[in-house]
C-alpha cells in the first residue's frame, strides 16, 4: 500500500491541488518511471453533474471536485449507509421475515424493488444483495425493520453513524433514500459520499456484494427464486470497476457512487444529478472523470 501511495502521489503531485471546494490546477510536472505524464487539462471535460468528486481510494484525498460541500438529494446511494449500519451490527446469517408493510411502502413512493414477497424468509446477507444490486427498497425497509428494530430507531442509527464519521452535510430520513417525507429530507454532499463510500468499501462483506454483477437465490423452503442484477452500468462497461451504488429520484436525478482499480490505482468518486433520468449520463460522467486520471498514467504504464 505504501508503494501505491508513493506511485499515486508521484503521478498526481505537481498536477492538481484541490482545496475547500475550489480546484487549483498546477503544471503537469509529475513523472512515472522518468516519463512525463501528459495531463492535458486541469479538470475532466464534459462532466454534466453539478455535484461531483473524485478521490484516490486509500486515504480519500480529493483530486477534483465540483460543489463538494453542497447538500443535495442522493436517492438510493442512501442504501450504502443502510448497508454499513447492518454490516457493523453483524450477524449477517440471521434469518429475517419480509414484513407486509413493504407493499404499501414501495407502492407509495414508486420505489425500485427486488421482488420480495411478504412472509418470505431470507438472511440479512441475502437481503443486502437484494438491496444493493437491484436497489430494492423492499429489502432496505426489511433490514431497517429488523435491525432498528423499527424504522425510526434504524434511521437514528444511520444519522448517529454519519455524525461519528464527521459527515456534517449528511442527513437521513429513510433507509432507501426515497422522498420520505419530502424530496430533500435525505441529503448528502459529494465530499461526504466519497468518505462514506471509502468506509463501506473497506468492509469485505460490502465489497463482495457491490462488485457482483448478479446474484441468484434459488427457491427454498422459505423463499421464492430470485435473480438480482446490478444497476451499476460501470460494472459492465468500465475496466477495473469494483462497485458501488446508483441512485435515482425526480429530485436527485441520476446519481452514481463508484470505485475502480486500474494499474493498481484505486479511485473513488461520485456524480449527483448527471441527468433528470438517464443512467447512461451518470455512467458517462464517471468514465470522463476516471479517464482524466487513468489515461495519462496508462499511457506511460502499459497496464490495463
Domain ranges of the chain: 2-300
Give the chain's mean pLDDT.
89
Whether the per-residue pLDDT at 4 is higher than 70: the answer is: no
Whether the per-residue pLDDT at 93 is higher than 50: the answer is: yes
Contact 83, 35 (CB under 8 A): no
**Can you tell me which residue has the cell 495531463?**
39
pLDDT digits (tens, 9 = 90+) for 137-159: 999 999 999 999 999 999 999 99
Which uninterrupted H or E stretch holds 36? strand 35-36
Helices (H), the chain: 2-12, 78-89, 102-109, 124-132, 137-147, 151-164, 190-201, 204-210, 233-237, 279-300
Q: How many whole angstroms separate alpha carbon 261 and alpha carbon 13?
A: 19
What's the rounded mean pLDDT across residues 18-42? Answer: 42
**Can you tell me which residue has the cell 468492509?**
203
Q: Count other C-beta atoms under 10 Å from residue 163's C-beta.
A: 12
Confidence of residue 38 (pLDDT cuts 50, 70, 90): low
With b for 16 or more beta-carbon neighbours within 10 A and e for fewer, the 85-95 pattern comes to: bbbeeeeeeee
Query: Rounded to 5 degrees, what are φ and ψ at 211?
Result: -85, -5
Q: Count other C-beta atoms under 10 Å from residue 112's C-beta.
A: 21
Whether the per-residue pLDDT at 263 is higher than 90: the answer is: no
Q: Count other C-beta atoms under 10 Å from residue 288's C-beta.
A: 19
pLDDT digits (tens, 9 = 90+) for 276-301: 999 999 999 999 999 999 998 888 76
Q: Which residues are marked as active site?
A: 76, 79, 135
- CATH classification for the domain delimited by 2-300, as one of 3.40.710.10, 3.40.50.920, 3.50.50.60, 3.40.50.2300: 3.40.710.10
Using alpha carbons, select from 129, 145, 258, 271 the residue that is nearest to residue 206. 129
Confidence of residue 229 (pLDDT cuts 50, 70, 90): very high
Amino acid at each position: 500500500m505504501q508503494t501505491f501511495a508513493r506511485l499515486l502521489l508521484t503521478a498526481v503531485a505537481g498536477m492538481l491541488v484541490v482545496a475547500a471546494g475550489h480546484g487549483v490546477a498546477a503544471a503537469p510536472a509529475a513523472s512515472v518511471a522518468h516519463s512525463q505524464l501528459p495531463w492535458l487539462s486541469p479538470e475532466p471535460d464534459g462532466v454534466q453533474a453539478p455535484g461531483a468528486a473524485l478521490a484516490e481510494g486509500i486515504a480519500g484525498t480529493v483530486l477534483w471536485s465540483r460543489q463538494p460541500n453542497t447538500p443535495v438529494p442522493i436517492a438510493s446511494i442512501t442504501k450504502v449507509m443502510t448497508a454499513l449500519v447492518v454490516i457493523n451490527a453483524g450477524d449477517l446469517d440471521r434469518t429475517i421475515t419480509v414484513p407486509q408493510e413493504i407493499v404499501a411502502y414501495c407502492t407509495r413512493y414508486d420505489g425500485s424493488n427486488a421482488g420480495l414477497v411478504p412472509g418470505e424468509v431470507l438472511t440479512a446477507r441475502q437481503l443486502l444483495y437484494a438491496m444493493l444490486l437491484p436497489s430494492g427498497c423492499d429489502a432496505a425497509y426489511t433490514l431497517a425493520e429488523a435491525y432498528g428494530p423499527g424504522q425510526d430507531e434504524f434511521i437514528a442509527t444511520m444519522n448517529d453513524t454519519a455524525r461519528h464519521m464527521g459527515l456534517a452535510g449528511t442527513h437521513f430520513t429513510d433507509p432507501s433514500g426515497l422522498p420520505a417525507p419530502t424530496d430533500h429530507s435525505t441529503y448528502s454532499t459529494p465530499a461526504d459520499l466519497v468518505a462514506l463510500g471509502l468506509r463501506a468499501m473497506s468492509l469485505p462483506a460490502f465489497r463482495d456484494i457491490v462488485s457482483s454483477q448478479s446474484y441468484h437465490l434459488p427457491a427454498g423452503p422459505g423463499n421464492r427464486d430470485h435473480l438480482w442484477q446490478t444497476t451499476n452500468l460501470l460494472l459492465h462497461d468500465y475496466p477495473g470497476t469494483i462497485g458501488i451504488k446508483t441512485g435515482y429520484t425526480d429530485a436527485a436525478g441520476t446519481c452514481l457512487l463508484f470505485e475502480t482499480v486500474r494499474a493498481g490505482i484505486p479511485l473513488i468518486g461520485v456524480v449527483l444529478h448527471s441527468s433528470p433520468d438517464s443512467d447512461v449520463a451518470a455512467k458517462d460522467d464517471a468514465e470522463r472523470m476516471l479517464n482524466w486520471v487513468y489515461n495519462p498514467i496508462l499511457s506511460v504504464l502499459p497496464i490495463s
